[in-house]
A = this chain, B = another copy of it.
């Protein structure tokens, strides 16, 4: 699944050791992945690959900024650094043949493991940006544990990175499923219904509530299928198949422009000939929706649970 497959060892326990962290910061072996306004640095070649910098980049950090430890691979520490305070970091760092590349586009072309690293780095940098100050007392907080915690020394509150669980579901009955489209989307584009899980809900309850809110349908059975990290900024997509008790939908115009039933045959045709004229498009393969709709339509048993 795109954005998964991060090969780094997050060193969850070891990173609590400040001395160990200090020994890595700026070490000759340590590697730094720079982000600029959430886009990762990549080498411009015929293909595309992440461009890892050495400790020299630390001279360019904002005054109160620091690198965040993503993890370890083959004994080498891998950090993410945020250069968003610079207007033109490619020039300022003297990087030839490099560019900060838009994440979705990069995700379709980078090796799977690199996309997983980008997912973690992007989510972590955005979380730090949004949590500089303590929500309890308003004081400036400090980075701890290589970036996997922020501590408020004023009131003592510890703050941890945030991941927002989202349900995304193919709602089906008989031989057809209902896909929605939002006004802002490109013409013809349709996707699975989705929404944030609210506090005090199970996965299954969130699916039922969202389906009822968006298309007015009741579901009586929810089957978990697969999950995906989605770093925009930091969601966990939980993909399900949900069986609807009827096909009489009522679309909520606040949430959706329209919702349409498609048969398995219609959807299979769209996947088998992506450039054909089907009257609708499905999401690209970086999104879990692509795989969820496909697996439903082809009734494949791709094993997303092997690890």
Contact = CB atoms under 8 A, between A and B. Distances in A.
Interface residues of A, number: 71
Interface of A: 1, 3-6, 10, 12-13, 116-117, 119-121, 123-124, 127, 129-140, 148, 157, 160-165, 196-205, 207-209, 213, 219-224, 226-229, 231, 234, 236, 238, 252, 254-255, 304-307
Contacts of A164: 160, 162-163
Contacts of A157: 130
Contact of A307 (B199, B221, B255, B304): B221
A123 B197 CA distance: 13
A250 to B, nearest CB: 13
Q: For the complex formed by this chain, how many copies does it contain in all? A: 2
Given A135-B135, A165-B165, A198 B305 contact: no
A130 B138 contact: no
A138 B132 contact: yes
Contacts of A148: 198
Nearest to A137: B133
A12 B208 CA distance: 13
A31 to B, nearest CB: 17
Given A131-B135, A252-B13, A307-B207, A1 B202 contact: yes
The 5 closest A-B pairs by CB, nearest first: A120-B200, A133-B138, A123-B199, A119-B200, A131-B135
Nearest to A236: B165
Contacts of A228: 202
A19 to B, nearest CB: 16
Contacts of A117: 200
Given A163-B199, A164-B163, A213 B132 contact: no
Contacts of A203: 227, 236, 238
A44 B18 CA distance: 50
Contacts of A123: 199-200
A204 B305 contact: yes
Contacts of A226: 202
Contacts of A10: 198, 209
Contact of A227 (B5, B202, B254): B202
B132 A205 contact: no
Given A116-B200, A133-B137, A134-B135, 11 more contacts: A3-B200, A4-B202, A6-B201, A129-B136, A132-B135, A135-B135, A163-B164, A163-B197, A200-B231, A201-B236, A203-B236
Contact of A204 (B13, B197, B227, B231): B227
Most B-side CB within 10 Å, residue of A123, A197, A207, A229: A229
B307 A220 contact: yes
B120 A213 contact: no
Contacts of A238: 203
